[in-house]
Amino acid sequence: RAKDAGRGVFRTYEPELHVQAEERRVLEMALRTAIEKGEMHLEYQPVVDVGSGAVRGFEALLRWTNPELGSIPPSKFIPLAEETRLIAPIGAWVLRTACAEAVRWPSDMRIAVNVSADQLQNPSFVTTVTSALTNAGLSAERLELEVTESVFLHEGLGATKVLERLLDLGVRLSLDDFGTGYSSLGYLSRTRFSSIKIDRSFIRDAAKGLREAVAIVRAVIALANNLDIATTAEGVETEAEHRMVQDFGCTMVQGFYFGRPLPVEEARALANRGWKASAAA
Ligand code: C2E
Ligand code: MG
Ligand code: MG
Ligand code: MG
């Protein structure tokens, strides 16, 4: 097609590629020093128990604001951090910060931290987790690591072994964004997951009444129940969506309906207030 359009095409197309490469270079440079310059912080989104309405814990979500570039969404900088291997030091900072915060909450509350597949390729990640827990004085059972199915794609690199060693520490694992990737039920029998997080897109479609989505959400919840694995519905925004996942027997919910990701002080206040979703609804 480019050939048919003749040489003119390149005049519009090449500068754009150049801009993209330049933007990426600028972003990468800024990302390299973002932690040391104090440009990163975490927000904490409540995860609520469906049965009791109590807050079970929080998911730590990384935020980056650069003085020149402004606020950059995780969907943009996390993939870049993965490609440039900056995810290891950034991820270590996230773990240390999140564990240090969680000790300030009631002792039954958990902290969930997202972990990229790349971080699990390196056996030293186990040490990173151990020292984050030790430095904070947090017990391992309170830490939940969220991984996606992409972790299992490069089996040869030993991610499963690293997951096993993390489980030996007493840390919990959850399977994030379930249904969006290369879902294979085999993963569920191979690794001991404490919970499955059902991706927001399924919750949305099922609540709209899309037959396939309804069937999938119900089946995933039933399967997890039979395997003694908890389920978390992600991205619940409306009362209707909440009622649906409650009817289906989902264990936990997370979404704007219960609470957006909160600044650290607000999350801490919420954690210590013993807030219940039913009281707020
Ligand atoms: P995720 O782990 O699936 O996190 C949930 C995302 O859904 C968050 O987006 C959250 O703000 C958003 N969300 C929660 N409830 C709702 C809702 O009701 N409606 C809608 N529309 N969205 C909702 P966020 O913070 O932009 O993060 C995006 C992704 O970036 C995360 O998806 C996670 O995969 C990744 N991420 C964030 N922080 C970290 C981190 O510290 N390390 C790594 N490796 N990845 C991270
Ligand atoms: Mg997550
Ligand atoms: Mg995710
Ligand atoms: Mg998710």
pLDDT tens track for 35-63:
999 999 999 999 999 999 999 999 999 99
Taking Cα atoms as reference points, which of 24, 43, 28 lies closest to residue 81?
28
Cα Dmax for the chain? 67
Pocket probe for ligand 1: among 41, 61, 178, 237, the residue whose CB has the most ligand atoms within 8 Å is 61
Q: With pLDDT > 90 as the criterion, what percentage of the chain qualifies?
A: 78
Check if the beta carbon of residue 66 is closer than 8 Å to that of residue 81.
no
Report the interhelical angle of 200-207 vs 211-226 (nearest 10°): 120
Phi, psi of 181 (to 5 degrees): -105, -120
Q: Residue 163 CA to chain centroid, in angstroms?
A: 16
pLDDT at 2: 44
pLDDT at 280: 45
Q: Whose CA is closest to atom 25 on ligand 1?
A: 61
ipTM above 0.90, yes or no: yes
Taking Cα atoms as reference points, which of 146, 24, 156 lies closest to residue 79?
24
User: What distance in Å separates the CA atoms of residue 7 and residue 197, rounded to the nearest whole number?
Assistant: 49
pLDDT at 241: 96
**Secondary structure class of 86 (helix, strand, coil):** coil
Q: Does pLDDT of 5 surpass 50?
A: no
Residue bearing the bigger pLDDT, 214 or 11: 214
User: What distance in Å separates the CA atoms of residue 191 and residue 167, rounded to the nearest whole number?
Assistant: 9
Pocket probe for ligand 1: among 43, 64, 78, the residue whose CB has the most ligand atoms within 8 Å is 78
Query: Position of tokens 């690293």?
Result: 162
Report the interhelical angle of 264-273 vs 87-102 (nearest 10°): 40
Surrounding residues of ion ligand 3, Cβ less than 5 A: 176-177
Q: Which atom of ligand 1 is nearest to the CA of 81?
A: 44
Q: How confident is the model at residue 188 (pLDDT cuts 50, 70, 90)?
A: confident
Pocket probe for ligand 1: among 114, 144, 178, 195, the residue whose CB has the most ligand atoms within 8 Å is 114
Does any ligand 1 atom lie closer than 6 A to the CB of residue 101?
no
Q: Does pLDDT of 189 surpass 90?
A: no
User: What distance in Å separates the CA atoms of residue 126 and residue 118, rounded to the nearest whole number?
Assistant: 13
